[in-house]
Amino acid sequence: MLQEPFALLRPFHDRLRIGIWTKCDAQMDDTALAYAMGSKDYAALDQVHGNRIVRVEESIARNEKADGMITNCMNIVLQIRSADCQTFLAFAPTERVLGVLHVGWKGLLCDAIPAFFRSLEAWWGIPGQETVVCGGPSLCMECSEFQNPQEEFPGIPEEFFSGRLVDLRSIAEEQLFQCGVVAKNFERMEGCTCCDTHTYWSYRGGDREKVLKGKTNVLACMLV
């Protein structure tokens, strides 16, 4: 497990616990992962590549079809899974509100990121400017090839395309900044899930069958 993987969040180590599980770690079910983080309570989703965000006030055992969660409750381990898609953690230090979001390419198209920040402001009155946002491991541009980006990404400026390659990370960052996230308060992990299949589970990098059976990277975090 990668502990405290984000430098921006280390000053808040007394308020947060964060871990990223990869191919290097033994696979654990939701309950075991929560115990590994130091809690018996957790929230995990039936991720559907959409834009639904849920407010977490008690444990969720994958019985919610959604791709984002936000909570101000202590000791509930938020778990988000990916095998190439982007994952984000957002923390509002003053209000002690924490959220996670899974964003595949379909999530970029259906405005999962704006939906997350609309929910954060609607529920707690927190604008994007008051958050620290960090991104987990995901595909780099060189590994993000599509058949026809102009058709598959309607409404996305062509500046994010290079032939059949799509800069998914930059699209997400543009959406984050449009939601008010300040560049100095944003951090992304280096590396690519598909380029480094020794470390990460990757759908595009040869692990398709295992990923379909549940092998994924996990970003987990909780308020303490």
- d(CA 194, CA 140) in angstroms, rounded, equals 8
Which residue has 């400026």 as its token pair? 157
Residue 145 half-sphere exposure, CB side, CA atoms within 13 Å? 6
Single pTM value for the model: 0.97
Report the pLDDT value the prediction gives residue 145, as an integer from 0 to 100.
Answer: 98
Report the pLDDT value the prediction gives residue 98, as an integer from 0 to 100.
Answer: 98
- d(CA 106, CA 108) in angstroms, rounded, equals 5
Contact 23, 201 (CB under 8 A): yes
Contact 170, 153 (CB under 8 A): no
For the chain, which residues make up each domain, given as ranges? 2-223
Mean pLDDT by 10 residues, the chain (224 residues): 93 97 93 96 98 98 97 98 98 98 98 98 98 98 98 97 98 98 97 97 97 97 98
Instruction: Read off the tokens for 34.
Output: 């929560």
- d(CA 32, CA 42) in angstroms, rounded, equals 10
Contact 52, 66 (CB under 8 A): yes
For residue 33, give the H/E element and its range.
helix 30-37
Report the pLDDT value the prediction gives residue 27, as an integer from 0 to 100.
Answer: 85
- d(CA 91, CA 133) in angstroms, rounded, equals 7
Query: Taking Cα atoms as reference points, which of 11, 79, 21, 23 lies closest to residue 199?
Result: 23
In this structure, CATH architecture of domain 2-223? 4-Layer Sandwich (3.60)
| DSSP summary character for residue 206 | T
- DSSP secondary structure letters along 113-182: HHHHHHHHHHHH---GGG-EEEE-SB--GGG-B-S-HHHHSTTS-GGGEETTEE-HHHHHHHHHHHTT--
